[in-house]
Amino acid sequence: MHSVSVKNLTLNFGNVSVLRNLNIDVAEGEFVVLLGPSGCGKSTLLNCLAGLLDISEGEIWIKDKNVTWSEPSERGIGMVFQSYALYPQMTVRGNLTFGLRIAKMPAPEIAKRVARAAEILQIQPLLDRKPGALSGGQRQRVAIGRALVRDVDVFLFDEPLSNLDAKLRSELRVEIKRLHGRLKNTMVYVTHDQIEALTLADRIAVMKGGVIQQLAAPLEIYNRPANLFVAGFIGSPSMNFLKGRTVDGGRAFQFGATKIDLSGYAGGAVLERDQAILGVRPEHITVSTTPSVGPSIPAEVEIDEHLGADSLLWLKADGISLSVRVPVEGRLPAGAKVHLGLDIPKASLFDAKTEQRI
């Protein structure tokens, strides 16, 4: 059984198409992250699931029920917003119980649910405070608590951590992961932050321009990006892209004067293509000060960025800029002449015209 199914969903605002023929099936208990740059339609899709926007075409199913035209309150979803959306004049307890009181739930049941949510989110000492007297992290816990007390099937999160500072963001990220581990509810979580997506998701849907580019497990997306956009969007610093062509019947990649052996490439049939792009992550390039055995790419160090645990070398090779992650002891001064080796089994090859992975 699917917990959430989106079938051929299209949404137009006037004559602008914001979501285009989307399909997603979310399994019971699965954590799916919608990831993409600002304006790609993530919040719009979440609002469609929540019933806050009418869709133009397609269907939305939750727990095997067609809810396409159901009211938000009938969908069994709880939504958590970036802005918290708490009532400022009510205490935390008042905020948690408001919806339940409106629904005329018996007081003992309300008390039980508040006690459980407060325990799970560690907000017992805050119940009698008003939102104004809470930190951002505490407010977001209360906002999550409001979805929790409703005992919903599906949690929808819209950038819940974006208003928090970096340290709090990483703490609350771990808490959300723990919460999912404990509750095992289905969660659909929107973010533009690739670290949140990679760490939280069972599967990530990478979106661009209202279209899902790839829907897969985080490691699959990181290791085998479906196209150039996904490859460039995930990973920091970004994957290095070497423009060239494939030669020798697809057995080698010609980059400038260097011919790189592709026999270890783990993708599909390479063939000969006059415009191809070889994508290599910064941690999949080795730097050596002496020419290695076999072909290597000559390069020059431009900048050495020390990051604490490791170091990033920014290099110039055949007119393009490359980044390479090296151990701290592998640091090199600007101007150093080096040779680069590529880990081809971990590389991605793209057709430059279609931008699709080969």
Least Cβ distance, residue 94 to ligand ADP (angstroms): 30
User: Which string of x and - marks every residue 36-55 that binds Mg ion (by CB under 5 A)?
Assistant: -------x------------
- Least separation in angstroms between CB 44 and ligand ADP: 3
In the complex, minimum distance from the CB of residue 211 to Mg ion, in angstroms, rounded to a whole number = 16
Note whether 191 binds Mg ion by CB under 5 A.
Answer: no
The minimum distance between CB 85 and ligand ADP, in angstroms, equals 16
Q: Retrieve residue 317's tokens.
A: 């090779």
CB closer to ligand ADP, 46 vs 347? 46
121 binds, among ligand ADP, Mg ion, none (CB under 5 to 8 A by kind): none
41 binds, among Mg ion, ligand ADP, none (CB under 5 to 8 A by kind): ligand ADP
Sign of the Cα torsion 117, 121, 122, 128 reads negative
Q: Helix, strand or coil for residue 1?
A: coil
> Measured from the CB atom, is 42 or 357 closer to ligand ADP?
42
User: Could you tell which of ligand ADP, Mg ion, none binds residue 40, using a CB distance below 5 to 8 A set by kind?
Assistant: ligand ADP
Say whether residue 13 binds ligand ADP (CB under 6 A). yes
Task: Check residue 87 for interaction with ligand ADP (CB under 6 A).
Answer: no
Q: Does 194 bind ligand ADP (CB under 6 A)?
A: no
In 3D, which of 34, 48, 40 has the Cα closest to residue 191? 34
Asked if 38 touches ligand ADP (CB under 6 A), the answer is yes
Preceding omega of 106 cis (within 30 degrees of 0): no
Stretch that binds ligand ADP, among 20-28, 40-48, 100-108, 120-128 (CB under 6 A): 40-48
User: Edge-to-edge strand order for the sheet containing 310-317?
Assistant: 285-288, 337-342, 297-306, 310-317, 320-327
3-state class percentages of the chain: helix first, strand second, coil last, to nearest 5: 30, 35, 35
Q: How far is CA 7 from CA 20, 39, 119, 298, in A?
A: 11, 22, 37, 50
For residue 294, what are its two tokens?
């076999």
CA distance 157 to 173: 12
Task: Work out whether 344 is an interface residue with ligand ADP (CB under 6 A).
Answer: no
Quick check: 83 binds ligand ADP (CB under 6 A)? no
Subset of 16-35 contacting ligand ADP (CB under 6 A): 16, 18
Do residues 1 and 28 lie in contact, with contact meaning Cβ atoms separated by under 8 Å? Answer: yes
Of the pair 173, 273, the CB lying nearest Mg ion is at 173
**Structure tokens belonging to residue 345:** 């089994």
Q: Which is nearer to ligand ADP, 32 or 134 (CB)?
A: 32
Find which of Mg ion, ligand ADP, none residue 39 binds, CB within 5 to 8 Å per kind: ligand ADP
Binding residues for ligand ADP, how many (CB under 6 A)? 11
18 binds, among ligand ADP, Mg ion, none (CB under 5 to 8 A by kind): ligand ADP
Cα(7)–Cα(215) distance, rounded to whole angstroms?
15
* Subset of residues 276 to 305 that bind Mg ion, contact rule: CB under 5 A: none
Select from 3, 5, 44, 348 the one that contacts ligand ADP (CB under 6 A). Answer: 44
HSE (side-chain half, CA atoms, 13 Å) at 179: 23
Whether 23 contacts 50, CB under 8 Å = no
Residue 119, SS3 per DSSP: helix
How far apart (Å, rounded) are the C-alpha atoms in residues 315 and 301? Answer: 4
Report the residue from 3, 26, 42, 139 that binds ligand ADP according to the rule CB under 6 A.
42
Is residue 257 within 8 Å of residue 236, measured between CB atoms?
no
191 near ligand ADP, judged by CB under 6 A = no
Q: Measure the CA–CA gap between 27 and 210, rounded to whole angstroms.
A: 22
Give the tokens for residue 194: 């690739």
Amino acid at 98: F
Nearer to ligand ADP (CB atom), residue 140 or residue 311: 140
Residues that bind ligand ADP (CB under 6 A): 13, 16, 18, 36, 38-44
Residues that bind Mg ion (CB under 5 A): 43
